[in-house]
Amino acid sequence: DADVTQTPRNRITKTGKRIMLECSQTKGHDRMYWYRQDPGLGLRLIYYSFDVKDINKGEISDGYSVSRQAQAKFSLSLESAIPNQTALYFCATATGISSYNEQFFGPGTRLTVL
Amino acid sequence: AQSVTQPDIHITVSEGASLELRCNYSYGATPYLFWYVQSPGQGLQLLLKYFSGDTLVQGIKGFEAEFKRSQSSFNLRKPSVHWSDAAEYFCAVGAMGGNKLVFGAGTILRVKS
């Protein structure tokens, strides 16, 4: 079984809808991250969490919110989806004092907003 | 703030040929540098990382990278490319004492037989 899982893997939704992307990990890591990937832009950080009570905005948090329900679960919500949020979304985890230990990525969720 | 530039969007090499993927970073102090690979339909996997010490870093799958402070570069190399190396490659930089990575735009590698 995969260590970092994301659900759903693919999602098509309409403008204005609320949508939640979920991430679960079995690695026992404290740190979790949400990124979005757009062609030609690489990965950009949306939110990150160093433990259940510590959540931080990344460089592109507008229009998104997150919830760290437990050490193993980190959800990303789009309160009112818009077409320019169409992207590939990745969850990642890491451990250690420094965040520059290796980050382990999930398989991604492809989101299309019509 | 740190930034990363990967000048080549696409690169095509023949199987068995050598490979070099370029990465330039902008950061005022010693950076933490990474190369990740994304195979089609997969998440990202770490190839190698540089924090300090020897400027030539060995990674998985036969890859290596060299940190050159004078050129602000961290280029990825492989002496002989295999068809399975076809993927997208991302360079990333982090700041000492920071807690986030900044990724480059990626380079798509195509391998022709």
Under the banding of pLDDT at 50, 70 and 90, the label for residue B18 is: very high
Per-residue confidence (pLDDT) for residue B70, from 0 to 100: 92
Cβ separation of B42 and A103 shorter than 8 Å? no
Rounded Cα–Cα distance for residues A48 and A37 (Å): 15
Per-residue confidence (pLDDT) for residue B23, from 0 to 100: 97
**pLDDT for A39-93, tens place per residue?**
888 999 999 998 899 999 998 999 999 999 999 999 999 999 999 999 999 999 9
Contact yes or no for A41/A107 (Cβ under 8 A): no
Chain mean pLDDT for chain B: 92
User: What is the arithmetic mean of pLDDT over A86-112?
Assistant: 86
Residues in A whose CB is inside 8 Å of some CB of B read: 4, 35, 40-45, 48, 50, 56, 58, 90, 92, 99-100, 102-103, 105-108
Cβ separation of B49 and A58 shorter than 8 Å? no
**pLDDT for B59-93, tens place per residue?**
999 999 999 999 999 999 999 999 999 999 999 99
Angle at CA B94, nearest 5°, toward B44 and B88? Answer: 25
Cis status, amide bond into A8, omega within 30 of 0: yes
Rounded Cα–Cα distance for residues B9 and B105 (Å): 8
Rounded Cα–Cα distance for residues A39 and B66 (Å): 26
Predicted confidence (pLDDT) at residue B57 exceeds the cutoff of 60: yes
**pLDDT for B20-29, tens place per residue?**
999 999 987 7
Under the banding of pLDDT at 50, 70 and 90, the label for residue B97 is: low
Rg (CA), chain B: 13
Question: Could you count the other beta carbons within 10 Å of the beta carbon of residue A61?
Answer: 15
Per-residue confidence (pLDDT) for residue A36, from 0 to 100: 97
Per-residue confidence (pLDDT) for residue B95, from 0 to 100: 73
